[in-house]
Structure 1
Amino acid sequence: MSAESPISALWPNPVTRPMDDAALTALYGRPDRPHLRMNFVTSVDGAVSVDGYSAGLSGEPDKRVFGLLRMLCDALLVAAGTLRHEGYRAVRLTERRRAWRREHGLSEYPTLVVVSGALDLDPAQAAFADAPVRPVVLTRAGATAPPGLTEVADVVRCGDDRVDLAAGLAELRRRGLDQVLCEGGPQLFGALTAADLVDEVCLTVAPLLAGAGPGRITAGGPSEVRHLPLRHVLAAGGVLMLRYARD
């Protein structure tokens, strides 16, 4: 934990002293039912990136919660475009976080799950080639896998014209991957929202104005408005970390 930006709780139960990882882990937790959690960082004016990348919005407090959420999940879900653009590497955890998972009966690492309608993926990317757990790729029936992809990942076909996300999540749960953490991107967030599959949104608000230009955290066609109650508000310096979840 950084001494410069300790995390404290503002609401609903204020805690002014710095929260350690055990307190944060208990606060976010692992629901006792299948659960899809979204995690995004945004500027005050809603931008999903600075200079094209989310890293420009993220600081130490956000990265700390980011790591804890990865520790808590069974599967890490990401769109192929985000995987490529953000340069995802293999999903690895510190020894301390691997030990926590072992103590709680989990595999040492979460499973990377990539959503790709076109299978425009590079099997040599470290996210696949160096993965400690064989990744899963959710795609549609007619997509052609590039050479080598099936050697480094399980390719699951769900849906004909597009990836059927509900069927994909059902397949993950059949594999015992009940707790799913999604890191985007915006098109995937929009599609999951439209399909009413989002149970929780963890949103970090960085104290920045990005101005016009960058996209927002969700994209795609219109969907039904749904109520998502606020569960807690954390703060670290000027950064706010908000958690919204279904009842």
Structure 2
Amino acid sequence: MLDGGGGAVSGGAGGSGFVDREWGLAELALAYAYPESAGREVWLRANMVSTLDGAGQHDGRSQPISGAADMRIFGTLRGLADVVVVGAETVRQEGYRPVRERAEFAEARAAAGQARVAAVAVVSASLDLDFSLPLFTSPLVPTLVLTGAAAAPDRVAAAEEAGARVVVAGDGAGVDPARAVRALAGLGHTRLLTEGGPRLLGQFIAAGALDELCLTISPMLTAGNAQRIAGGPGVAVPRRFELVSLLEEAGFLFGRYRRS
């Protein structure tokens, strides 16, 4: 593992001086631990995957460009978070389900005063969601729906009838990303994780709300016109992030970057 002060990349893949190994959950939990301050102050991290040529998905989904180690980190990040923030389109495209309980994280979550699992918070202005899905009807902790004050009352009622908790995070029809972060913090969720999609991540970046990016570089090439990991509004000046750690396994690179 490469830390911010230097060192060497460790992991799989022979022929380049790498040590062939698999990163365990305990090691990943340590490598991706939230800052100590995150228990008191809100910290928003994103977890995304990109191919070598910059594609954030293939055929509309991220799973085809992922791998076993990437999914292990995916599970670890969920095991550390209070809430997983995700856009409505990603929920539809990726077939989102409730976060499942993992025995490996139970003791640490209890010690940190966290719920058994992270809640899922779906960002949706229109509330055009299928509230009969398990994400809403059978989570271990209630799913949150972040929407605007102008959301249709019948859709709000449908969400609440399904067991979701509706949180207003915008004065109009849309959701304000900075206000969404504050709203989640107000509910006691300070360790935030967003899994996109690209439009939602772009909004967090443009609002200056993103503290950390966990980026998997997949050793694949797709060409085509797939989205990047972030889209939507741009920023006037590119924001600088610093490399905190870098892991490697089976040709995949796992970087962790924090806001400078």
Same structural fold, with TM-score higher than 0.5 when normalized by the shorter chain: yes
What is aligned with 1:234?
247
Is 1:66 the equivalent of 2:71? no
1:216 offset after TM fit, Å? 1.0
Deviation sequence 1:136-179 (CA, Å, 0-9, x none) = 11111111142531121111122214211211211111111001
1:156 aligns with 2:192: no
**Equivalent residue number for residue 187 of structure 2:** 175
Displacement of 1:120: 0.5
CA distance in 2 between counterparts of 1:153 and 1:18 reads 38
CA distance in 2, matches of 1:20, 1:126: 29
Identity of aligned residues (%): 37
1: distance between equivalents of 2:108 and 2:250? 28
Q: Following TM superposition, by how much is the alpha carbon of 1:47 offset from its aligned partner in structure 2, in angstroms?
A: 0.6
Selected match of 2:57 from 45, 49, 62 = 49
Q: Give the residue type in structure 2 aligned to 1:13.
A: G
Kindly tell me the number of residue pairs found equivalent between the two proteins: 239
Per-residue CA distance 1:81-126 (angstroms, 9 max, x = gap):
1011110011113222233322433211111111001110111111
Query: Would you say the 8 A contact 1:99–1:108 is kept in 2?
Result: no
- Tell me the CA shift for residue 182 of structure 1: 0.1
Q: Post-superposition shift, 1:233?
A: 1.0
Q: Equivalent residue for 2:256? A: 243
Report the more deviating stretch, 184-193 or 137-146: 137-146
Deviation (angstroms), 1:48? 1.2
1:140 to 148, 154, 160: 148
Question: What is the match of residue 106 of structure 1?
Answer: 114
TM superposition score normalised by structure 2: 0.87
Please, which runs of 5 or more residues in structure 1 have no aligned partner? 1-8
Aligned 8 A contact 2:124 2:175 in 1: yes
Shift of residue 229, structure 1, vs aligned partner: 0.8
Asked if 1:93 corresponds to 2:87, the answer is no
